[in-house]
Each structure stands twice: as structure tokens, then as C-alpha cells.
Structure 1
């Protein structure tokens, strides 16, 4: 007698195998609508969860839905449904309180990525929950969170696997918190401290991590702080745009090129006081530079442009937008040097003639000339 077969008789392992090979999102959603068992399999296969809008008492629950829109009182229910998450984003959940993160004590151990951007209600108490509940975190974003050095210290003592941390616009963080991260989290490779006005950079002194990416736009860095930032010797990407102090004369000793030899991307946008001596020293000491943003750096004259042309042999992207002292001779030097240049961001340079620009385009047909002001290389 023939034995009847039916897809519902398949063991869970086979259903997992089928689900993981569904390419269409609509097919994957439909899979969970078949029955409770298939819904459980669908839920257990989910590894990433993104909340797109604000947590509030008024936000209705709608499940299943992708991206999910949900109120914070139901966060427990959702995390219970998806028990194997590796990545969780709560970006924009402006009303999420510290207490809302306490459930990470039960559901956080598997998380490797957590994003809390614009969660204005999250302070050190919430970060304590993250530290205790998510020991395997690799990627953490705290953009505009209301945290302090106390929370960062607790985080650094528990989340030792951290590699990428975003602290931009965390105005209450200082070098004390940065020191805790840089000394305890030895795998740390990327950190963003942009617009953290309480940081001068000295917290990176003696860091034990292999830091490769550092973004410090609009920070109040001082020469000693920049020396500390470079002290590890492994930086490949450095953004110190909108620097408020003058990198010239003795102050430029802060940028020790012996420690900056691995730099491939350097952003000096709106560092208006960087001079020819500074540019020449960087050009000679950073042979690996592929992208250099000097937009709105007004003190660079012909001597500086000639140094770039002569020494920046690996340079592929150069930004010179709105540089007041870039003249025809300076552009000629760039045209005759920088053999690997692929893109020149050139716009609103008042001393450049249209003839010089056209000659550059004619003789360097391999270079794309653009007036846009954006960084070209993906930093990570």
C-alpha cells in the first residue's frame, strides 16, 4: 500500500531549508501565513529587525510587517517572536525609555549589531542594559543619544568585541569615555566622534586597539589630541574637517607623518589655516594617500600644490573646491603631476581662469573634473 506524502509532514529541518532558499520577500512573507508552525519557522530564521518610526503609546501594532512599525510596550512581544536576531535597529524611536532596553538582558546575547540613532530617551541606564545584555556586540551606533562617560565605561568593560562605534553628536561624552573604549575594546577599528565638543582627542593616548577609521568632524581637537589619535600608527581614514585651531608652524607637529604613513583618506575640509608647509609635510610623509579633501583651505598657494603634484603619487581623488589661492600655476602643477589622479573636485575657485581649466581637461583626459563636494571613497 502506497504511503501518502504531504509537505506538512516534512520535518522542521526541511522546512528551514525551503524557507532559506526563497528569494522573493513576498514569498517569504507568504510562507509564514500558511500555519502557526510555518510562522514559527519563518520567525526563527529572521536575523535582522528594523523599526522605522518612533516608539509611542499611540503607535499601533501591525505584525508581520517589514519594516516593522510598533509601540515600545510591544517590543518584548516582537523580540520574543524573533529569538535569533543578530542585528537590531531602533533608529528614530525617540520616545523609547531606558527601561525599554531592559529586555536585552534576555534577548541581547545573540546581537552583534545594535543601532539606537536618535533615541533621545536613552541615557546611561539604558547603556547599562546594553552592556549587561549584549556581550557580543560588534557594531553599535549611539548617534544623538543622551549618554555620558559613565555609560561608555560600563560598555567598554563588558562589550570587548566592539569594532565599530558611532558617538556622533553625543555632547556629554568626553575623553574619559574615549579612553575607556580605546584601552578596553582591543578590536575597535572604527569610531565616529563628530560634533562631540567635549572631546579634544587625548583620550586616544596609549590606545591598545588597532584603530583604522576615525571621524572627528567639528570637534575641538588640540595638537596633543591629534598626536594621541595618530599614536596607534594604523589609521587609514582620518576626518578632522572644520578644525578650529591653526595647523601651522609648531602646531603642525601634531600630525606626525611617521604615525600617519598608512593614511589613504584624509579630510581637511574647512581647515582654513592649513598652509604650504603643512601640506608639503603630509604629501611627503603619507605616500599611501588616495583621497585628500582640501576644500575651503584658503592658505595653500603654488608651493603647496606643487608639493602635492610631486609627492602624492598614489592620489586618485583630490578636492579643491573654493580654494581661494588655487591659481592657474597651481592647477598646472597638478596637471603635470599626480599621475594616478582619477577625479578632481574643482569648483568656485575664484583665481582660476576658464582657459586653465579647459587646458587641464584637454591634457588630462583621464581625470574627471567635477564641482560636487562629496567624499568619493566609502570609508569602511
Structure 2
């Protein structure tokens, strides 16, 4: 640099790595960052050193139509080992859809996973409990893990994960058919910072594994689960639930298990879509016990009758969005109860309610002109911050 200064010659190529790193971080355009490493090997090394996330084209989370082929990208052990050796400071890694990846492919996480905070293993069908133990040992800083359709993961793997990764906040276990409440219990009790869990379509879970969970648990998705009354009480036992999805609730020989949701005083969004057996008793308990409720999906809840609708109208004074599509027992009197109550209501999703007459609907519109009535049916309601979008 001294000789260059004497000759009056300067070049960005002679800047130290620290300065080039600052320049790299100042690039706010993804294309510019990718082009940075094409300059020379040294700049490529700086780009690799500063890379914090890695996501494969086979990942279902990439909205690229060309990647949605029936054939997945064959990411094998050797590929992942090379990439982890190249990008040694990753904080986020998505292997979603890498169906050929097996346990041995995760061994490099023992050396290069210490900074990893987010890991997506969705549909990694060959990953077993042993692979999850490698993740647990190599990634102590993990806060988010998604195991959607990891069919070879069992309670044993979850217990190992919960013991080693106690900073976990977001855990997706949906469609993991071999886990039960025992594995869920390990996650719920050992991970004291837990904020969100997805157990949708986990047929062996009834919810009791949530018992004793931290108050930080605010988001639970349990679509198509076989919840019991004790399981529902387990879900709400921490006292912090704000979002709950129990849509498509499986029939229970014990009857309607949803009464206990009425103890969720912090609840803001509740999805009951296709809970065909939910009773007026549960509806009334929830309407009374959840004063902060802002959105409630009751579409296809056929057993909600006049006393249930009256409870919603009387007690749900903070409710802004209500879904009543295809509710077989919503009639003119029930619609009147909603019209005369629910003073904060701004959107009513209503169609296919065969017992509601056109006259009652027009009367609702004239009395509540500020409420927008939409005929569309929303299949899924989630908060804007949802970790499982």
C-alpha cells in the first residue's frame, strides 16, 4: 500500500478484508450480493464467510414454479458436506424436500452447526432419530426447527432434541405420525422459551403433553388432531395462548372436548372450522372466558344453535372477524343475536347458511352498515407473524 501511495495508484482490490466485509453488508440488493463473489476468489471467500442462510431450489418454501416438479433435487451427503464446509457461519439452513438426504448427511453439523438458529428438514424422509441427535449435538443455538412429514422421527428423537436445544421457540411437528404426547411433553417442559408448536395431523397426540408448558407458548396448531378434554386443558395450561387452530377436530367418544378453551383469557384468534360437534356449552364458555378474541372461525360448526350465537353476540365485544360459512343451524334469530351484539365486528364471512332468509340478511345490513359481509370461505386463518406460513 505504501508503494501504491507513492505512485498515486489506488485500487479497491487492495482494501483489507474488514473493509470489503463492510462493503458487502452495505449491499441491500440480493443480485448485487450474489455478483460480489464473482469478482475474484478473495471476494468470493468474503461472500462465503458472510453468508448466513442457505436454501435449496427443491425447498417448497421457495415460490418458484420451476422448482415444483415431481422429482426432488437429489441432495446427498457429499453435497451437503461441501456446502457446510464452504459456508461455515450459517444461521439458517433449509433442506426442505431433500428426500434423498439421510442421517450421515447431517454429521457436518457437528463441526459447522454452532451458529445455526433455524433448520428446516421438511419431507426429509430418510432422516431418523439418529440424524436428529446429530442436529441436537451440533446446533445448541437452535431456536426454530421444522420436521413436517419426517416420518421416521419418534419420541426418542424429540427427547434428545429437547435436552440439547433448550432455546427452541418454534417447532413444527405436523404429519409426524410416530410421535406421541411423550415426545411433545419433553419439548413443552424442557424448552422454556417455546412460543409456537404445530402438531397438525399427528394422530397419536391428544394434547396432554402440553401440560405444564411455559407461559411463553402463544401459538398452537392442532388441525385434525384427536384432542381430549385433558389435552385441551394441557394446551391452555401455560396461560399464554393467543392463537389456536383446532380445525377439523376428530370425533371423540368423550364428547365435545373444547370447553376448556374458555380458560384462555389471552386468546385472540381461534379456528374451529369443521369442528362439527362443538356444542353451545363450549361456545358459551369460550365467549365468556376469552374477552380479547378478535377472530373466530366457526364455519361448518353445525351444532352451534341459538344459545351459542346469543353467547357470541353478548360476550364477544372485541370480535372483529367472524366466519359462519355453511353453519347448518344459524337461522334468522341467531343472525339477529350477532347483529345486536358483537359491537366491534367489521367483517362477517357468510354463505351457504340455508336457514338464514334474505330478509334477515338485509335487516342485518341495514342495522350494521359498517360490517362488510363476504361470501368467500377462508380455509385458514393465521396471524401476520405466523412462524408456520
What is the TM-score with the length of structure 1 in the denominator?
A: 0.91
* Deviation sequence 1:288-334 (CA, Å, 0-9, x none): 11111111111112221111111101101111111001112211221
> Please, which of 192, 215, 219 is the counterpart of residue 221 of structure 2?
215
Tell me the equivalent position of 1:369.
Answer: 373
CA deviation after TM superposition for structure 1 residue 352, in Å: 1.4
Distance 1:352 1:379, change over 3 A: farther
Task: Please list, as runs of the form range in 1=range in 2, the aligned pairs for 1:90-101 lying within 5 A after superposition.
Answer: 90-101=95-106
The whole-number CA distance in structure 2 between the counterparts of 1:376 and 1:143 is 18
CA deviation after TM superposition for structure 1 residue 97, in Å: 0.6
Tell me the equivalent position of 1:263.
Answer: 267
RMSD of the TM alignment (CA)?
Answer: 1.9
Contact 2:92 2:117 in 1 (8 A): yes
The whole-number CA distance in structure 2 between the counterparts of 1:317 and 1:132 is 45
Tell me the equivalent position of 1:49.
Answer: 54
Contact 1:326 1:352 in 2 (8 A): yes
Task: Please list, as runs of the form range in 1=range in 2, the aligned pairs for 1:200-349 lying within 5 A after superposition.
Answer: 200-208=206-214, 210-245=216-251, 254-255=259-260, 257=262, 259-349=263-353
Tell me the equivalent position of 1:21.
Answer: 26
Name the SS for the 2:248 alignment partner: coil
Tell me the equivalent position of 2:68.
Answer: none
> Please, which of 166, 171, 174 is the counterpart of residue 168 of structure 1?
174
Moved more, 311-320 or 365-374: 365-374
Return 5+ residue gaps in structure 2 as ranges.
Answer: 1-5, 60-72
Tell me the equivalent position of 2:45.
Answer: 40
| Runs of at least 4 residues off by over 4 Å | 246-249, 251-254
Contact 1:182 1:209 in 2 (8 A): no
Distance 1:314 1:209, change over 3 A: closer
Distance 1:205 1:26, change over 3 A: closer
The whole-number CA distance in structure 2 between the counterparts of 1:351 and 1:84 is 61
* Deviation sequence 1:240-271 (CA, Å, 0-9, x none): 1222246998x5585153x3111111111111
Contact 2:293 2:318 in 1 (8 A): yes
Distance 1:254 1:228, change over 3 A: farther
Distance 1:220 1:376, change over 3 A: closer
The whole-number CA distance in structure 2 between the counterparts of 1:106 and 1:44 is 15
Name the SS for the 1:255 alignment partner: helix
Contact 2:331 2:356 in 1 (8 A): yes
Contact 1:246 1:274 in 2 (8 A): no
* Deviation sequence 1:8-45 (CA, Å, 0-9, x none): 01111111111112233222222111100011111112
Distance 1:305 1:119, change over 3 A: same
Moved more, 15-24 or 34-43: 15-24
Moved more, 263-272 or 158-167: 263-272
The whole-number CA distance in structure 2 between the counterparts of 1:355 and 1:248 is 40
The whole-number CA distance in structure 2 between the counterparts of 1:239 and 1:341 is 21
Structure 1 residue 132 corresponds to structure 2 residue 137? yes
What is the TM-score with the length of structure 2 in the denominator?
A: 0.89
Contact 2:74 2:98 in 1 (8 A): no
The whole-number CA distance in structure 2 between the counterparts of 1:260 and 1:166 is 22
Tell me the equivalent position of 2:108.
Answer: 103
Tell me the equivalent position of 1:192.
Answer: 198
The whole-number CA distance in structure 2 between the counterparts of 1:235 and 1:289 is 11
Tell me the equivalent position of 1:58.
Answer: none
The whole-number CA distance in structure 2 between the counterparts of 1:267 and 1:233 is 18
